[in-house]
Amino acid sequence: MWHKVRVLQISEREKLPRLKTNSKLIKLKEGINGVIEELLEEDEMNITDINNLIYAAATIMTQILDEPNKRSKNRRDVKFWKIRMQKQISSWRKELSIIAEIGTGSDNVKLKRKKRKILKKYRVTNAREVAQLTETLKQKVQAKAQRIRRYEKRETQYSQNKMFKDDTKKLYRNLGMKILKAREPPSMAETETYWKSLWGEEAQHNERAEWIRREQERKVSHMGWMPIQITEITSYLSKAHN
């Protein structure tokens, strides 16, 4: 857990709940404190390492003592409405597969019994009604599947709207499906080299670009055309930086 915590930013840590003090907590805390003391004796740690170690210890204690709450949380995450609809779809599809065997001359006794049960359930007495029942069940399956997709889409939209309000950066990260791993920040020399390669070296631009044509027309209409100077770009970037 300590090694897992070390690669996380502080803003990415999960907020831990307050634990109720009892004999189990006290005993567990004593054992974990002993492990922490051993680690502190083995390695020289800075304040960030110690902070990570303490958070890892608190996480382990929460996982051990807060198991009932985790189970209840997982239960809330279960979509019972979706399970119920999927069971209905599965039942209708099973009936469709059995109805499809009608008229094929199957000698399976168990299958014949299932066919008679379905025909009795829907009060079907002839081939025309069997065809109507088949079409009705197909439409039910399609309608229910579309309802599931519609509910899931609405649920996703609600979740994204809430995430946009609470943590916009996390939403864009999820939309981009990019896993950002924490790493050491670049040195000052690396940073200067990177930005100088973008802004410090002259390059030949596309003279036929649409925005240049519009700028030319605007300048000609106001004061006559004047080429864009390096000082103009420098001034603009300086203002943007400030």
Report pTM. Answer: 0.42
Q: Which of 2-6, 18-22, 65-69, 141-145 has the lowest mean pLDDT?
A: 65-69
pLDDT at 177 over 80: no
Which DSSP letter does residue 126 get? S
Mean predicted lDDT score pLDDT of the chain: 79
Identify whether the C-beta of residue 109 lies closer than 8 Å to the C-beta of residue 151: no
- pLDDT tens-digit map of 29-74: 888 888 888 877 776 778 888 888 888 888 888 888 875 554 445 5
Pick the residue with more confidence: 125 or 233? Answer: 125
Percent of the chain past pLDDT 70, that is, above it, reads 83
- pLDDT tens-digit map of 132-150: 999 999 999 999 899 888 8
Give the integer Cα–Cα distance in Å for 135 and 27. Answer: 65
Q: What mean pLDDT comes out for the span 196-225?
A: 71
pLDDT class for 222, splitting at 50, 70, 90? low
Nearest to 90 by CA among 27, 145, 136: 145
Give the integer Cα–Cα distance in Å for 224 and 216. Answer: 9
pLDDT at 29: 87
Percent of the chain past pLDDT 90, that is, above it, reads 6
Give the integer Cα–Cα distance in Å for 125 and 131. Answer: 11
